[in-house]
């Protein structure tokens, strides 16, 4: 329910005073447990656990319990693509398919704790595969289908996946992009990958490689539609999701079942003021945390219909998404500022052609939203009145952290207030609170239920989150807090860029660049971009004997695409004689950026002249 500021402040104050009591109440009321926890929270700094000793299965909460409550025939998922082909699936049928897939995994020898990598299009079968893993306690790690074979291989190797699930192709802007062949390349000579499950689309029959490849539908056909959910410990791992950091290597962020179930369920419910008959459309892909928490687990746990659309926002026409909102009677619409900036560019006339009266709550995620875009969104899509939930959060937090709930006064461009139970602050490098409106680091003072538990194979990296500024979770973002306590997130404080709402580390791209035979050194910065938020610029020092010809630069770009993904390809490349470095040899990206943007270059005392 929408609420007043007084109500919010009262509940918020209680949740901060005694978070254990607060979360225990929510966990007990909102989530079904096979066995109740013995201890709500334990904190052996920096490690923590929630709902210790509790047993549950997230698929039971997302599926079985709604069926038991008589909602079996309610729509769980709605799939649409750029040809307006539509498929829907009810909660009952989704459970049957999840069970079949889960039994299929078991028949391939997959057990609780085994890693399964998904490299799939945004289709219902991917939801079935994710939930199928969760049903038996296998750990899914979804890799966005835009990543290259090399990037996929790096992730498969890091988590030692036993099984990879893929599809023959995905559809984008009228073109089929092959996925299976990318997987073949990615797993070459990786003996530990025992099986590749291949979803063949539209009745196609591909030649499958006998030793490894298994047909997705064929595997399910043979199985029973019943599979008892594995009774998972609260702290058993649900999934690993890779994300970029400031080092060259992506981090495998680990999330566990209990805290994640409680937090994503509750944030979905409160932030979007969920109602039983909602048609909920979060435009994210399963390859990102937003897809995990607010396309799949959050909406399904709340028993609403969740929409997924395979393809681009503006294809086949600029009003593609508007048409879907009107046709499907979407009530909650949650998207990224990049998508909104793109839609805005196409003009308001497109909005006026469609009926948006079904909409109740709007949202944004992934990057700061410019106030003028916020206002445009509310005026043209939100009938000049709907609440816009600007949600700040991260792969590591797994759920919304800073957001102004419906009913509270919203300030365009400011995410606003910490969610219930979230003790957020803006501090200096020593952890001291910044004065009102002072720019500082956004930190969280205490673990919350869905906080990351680990970085796969790198516990030290996990500890760094809690040690960068002693005693608090370091988000890596700059922020300011105003006189009302509303927080505005300004962007990353580290060498991580945000391109179209996707996180990408400068070091990762630099690694790819210097692996090109003609490149000796590389530095990458983000530059402001009207649509994408940031765009990538690379500075290169070429190896002797190479000239910066158009062909060479095109080849360098292609190389980055092969090494990482199209979204990591620098839009601009400048070849230079040398890069500015500190005396210890570290490239000063800050200086390059300041010069590029014609800003004050700041303190240069560490520069090696």
Query: In the complex, which residues of this chain contact ligand PRX (CB under 6 A)?
Result: 243, 288-290, 365-368, 390-395, 415, 475-477, 489, 491-492, 498, 503
Residue identified by tokens 């609260």 is 234
Q: Which is nearer to ligand PRX, 243 or 268 (CB)?
A: 243
Q: How far is the CB of 488 from ligand PRX (least distance, A)?
A: 8
Q: How far is the CB of 243 from ligand PRX (least distance, A)?
A: 5
15-24 b/e (C-beta count within 10 Å ≥ 16 → b): bbeebeebbb
End-to-end CA distance of the chain: 61
Q: How far is the CB of 475 from ligand PRX (least distance, A)?
A: 6
Q: Which is nearer to ligand PRX, 86 or 439 (CB)?
A: 439
Residue identified by tokens 């693509």 is 81
Of 442, 426, 272, nearest in space to 360 by CA: 272
Of 455, 394, 460, nearest in space to 422 by CA: 394
Pairing relationship of beta strands 332-335 and 361-365 according to DSSP bridges: parallel
Q: Which is nearer to ligand PRX, 186 or 284 (CB)?
A: 284
Residue identified by tokens 């410990």 is 233
Q: Which is nearer to ligand PRX, 477 or 510 (CB)?
A: 477
Q: How far is the CB of 520 from ligand PRX (least distance, A)?
A: 31
Residue 475 near residue 489, CB atoms below 8 Å? no
Q: How far is the CB of 113 from ligand PRX (least distance, A)?
A: 25
Return the beta strands (E) in 1-150 as ranges: 39-44, 47-52, 55-56, 75-81, 86-90, 115-119, 139-142
Across the chain, how many H-helices and E-strands are there? 20, 30
Q: Which is nearer to ligand PRX, 80 or 402 (CB)?
A: 402
Q: How far is the CB of 277 from ligand PRX (least distance, A)?
A: 27
* β-pair partners for 142: 118
Q: Please give the distance of CA 70 from its chain centroid, rounded to a whole number.
A: 32
Would you tell me how many other CB atoms lie within 10 Å of the CB of residue 123?
Answer: 21
**What is the token pair recorded at 204?**
């196609």
Q: How far is the CB of 443 from ligand PRX (least distance, A)?
A: 12
φ/ψ of 323, rounded to 5, equals: -60, -40
In this chain, which residue has its C-beta nearest to ligand PRX?
395
Strand, coil or helix: 65: helix
Q: Please give the distance of CA 93 from its chain centroid, rounded to a whole number.
A: 27
Residue identified by tokens 């890799």 is 143
Of 288, 338, 326, 333, nearest in space to 307 by CA: 333
Q: How far is the CB of 532 from ligand PRX (least distance, A)?
A: 13
Q: How far is the CB of 80 from ligand PRX (least distance, A)?
A: 22
Q: Which is nearer to ligand PRX, 81 or 336 (CB)?
A: 336
Length of the chain: 609
Q: How far is the CB of 549 from ligand PRX (least distance, A)?
A: 35
Q: Which is nearer to ligand PRX, 23 or 374 (CB)?
A: 374
CA–CA dist 77, 54 (Å, integer): 29
Q: Which is nearer to ligand PRX, 136 or 241 (CB)?
A: 241
Q: Which is nearer to ligand PRX, 182 or 243 (CB)?
A: 243
Q: Which is nearer to ligand PRX, 101 or 392 (CB)?
A: 392
Q: Which is nearer to ligand PRX, 148 or 391 (CB)?
A: 391
Q: How far is the CB of 286 from ligand PRX (least distance, A)?
A: 13
At a CB cut-off of 8 Å and minimum separation 6, what does 133 contact?
102, 105, 116, 139, 140, 239
Residue 163 near residue 198, CB atoms below 8 Å? no
- CA distances (Å), origin 277, targets 358, 368, 388: 11, 30, 20
């Amino acid at each position: 329910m929408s609420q007043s500021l007084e109500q919010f402040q009262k509940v918020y104050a209680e949740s901060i005073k005694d978070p254990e009591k607060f979360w225990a109440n929510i966990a007990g009321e909102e989530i079904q447990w096979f066995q109740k926890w013995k201890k709500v929270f334990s904190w052996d700094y920096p490690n923590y656990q929630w709902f210790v000793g509790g047993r549950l299965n997230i698929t039971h909460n997302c599926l079985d319990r709604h069926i038991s409550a008589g909602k079996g025939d309610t729509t769980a998922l709605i799939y649409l693509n750029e040809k307006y082909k539509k498929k829907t699936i009810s909660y009952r049928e989704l459970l049957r398919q999840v069970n079949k897939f889960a039994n299929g995994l078991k028949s391939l020898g997959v057990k609780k704790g085994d890693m399964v990598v998904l490299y799939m299009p945004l289709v219902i079968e991917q939801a079935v595969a994710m939930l199928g893993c969760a049903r038996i306690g296998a750990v899914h790690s979804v890799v966005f289908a835009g990543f290259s074979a090399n990037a996929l291989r790096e992730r498969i190797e890091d988590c030692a996946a036993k099984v990879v699930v893929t599809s023959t192709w995905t559809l984008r802007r009228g073109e089929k992009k092959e996925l299976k062949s990318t997987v073949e390349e990615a797993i070459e000579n990786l003996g530990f990958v025992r099986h590749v499950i291949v979803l063949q689309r539209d009745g196609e029959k591909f030649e499958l490689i006998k030793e490894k490849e298994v047909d997705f539908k064929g595997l399910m056909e043979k199985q029973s539609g019943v599979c008892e959910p594995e009774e998972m410990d609260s702290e058993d791992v649900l999934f690993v999701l890779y994300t970029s950091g400031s080092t060259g290597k992506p981090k495998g962020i680990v999330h566990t079942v209990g805290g994640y179930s409680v937090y994503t369920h509750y944030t979905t419910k409160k932030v979007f003021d969920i109602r039983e008959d909602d048609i909920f459309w979060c435009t994210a892909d399963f390859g990102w945390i937003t897809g995990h928490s607010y396309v799949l687990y959050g909406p399904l746990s709340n028993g609403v219909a969740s929409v997924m659309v395979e393809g681009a926002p503006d294809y086949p026409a600029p009003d593609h998404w508007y048409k879907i909102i009107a046709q499907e009677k979407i009530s909650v619409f949650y998207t990224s500022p990049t998508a909104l900036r793109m839609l805005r560019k196409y003009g308001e006339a497109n909005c006026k052609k469609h009926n948006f009266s079904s909409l109740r709550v709007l949202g944004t995620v992934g990057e700061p939203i410019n106030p003028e875009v916020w206002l445009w969104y509310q005026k043209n899509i939100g009938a000049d009145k709907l609440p816009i939930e600007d949600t700040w959060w991260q792969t590591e937090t797994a759920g919304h952290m800073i957001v102004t709930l419906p009913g509270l006064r919203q300030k365009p461009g400011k995410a606003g207030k910490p969610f219930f139970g979230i003790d957020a602050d803006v501090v200096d490098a020593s952890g001291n609170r910044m004065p009102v409106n002072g720019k500082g680091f956004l930190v969280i003072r205490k673990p919350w239920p869905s906080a990351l538990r680990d970085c796969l194979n790198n516990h030290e990296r996990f500890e760094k989150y809690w040690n960068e500024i002693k005693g608090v979770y370091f988000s890596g973002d700059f922020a300011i807090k105003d006189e009302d306590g509303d927080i505005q997130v300004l962007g990353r404080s580290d060498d991580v860029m945000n391109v179209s709402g996707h996180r990408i580390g400068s070091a990762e791209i630099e690694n790819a660049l210097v692996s090109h035979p003609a490149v000796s050194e590389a530095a990458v910065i983000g530059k402001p971009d009207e649509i994408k938020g940031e765009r990538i610029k690379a500075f290169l020092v070429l190896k002797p004997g190479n000239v910066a010809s158009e062909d060479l630069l095109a080849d360098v770009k292609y190389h980055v695409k092969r090494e990482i993904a199209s979204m990591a390809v620098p839009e601009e490349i400048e070849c230079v004689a040398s890069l500015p470095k500190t005396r210890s040899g570290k490239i000063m990206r800050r200086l390059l950026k300041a010069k590029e943007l014609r800003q004050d270059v700041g303190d240069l005392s560490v520069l090696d002249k």
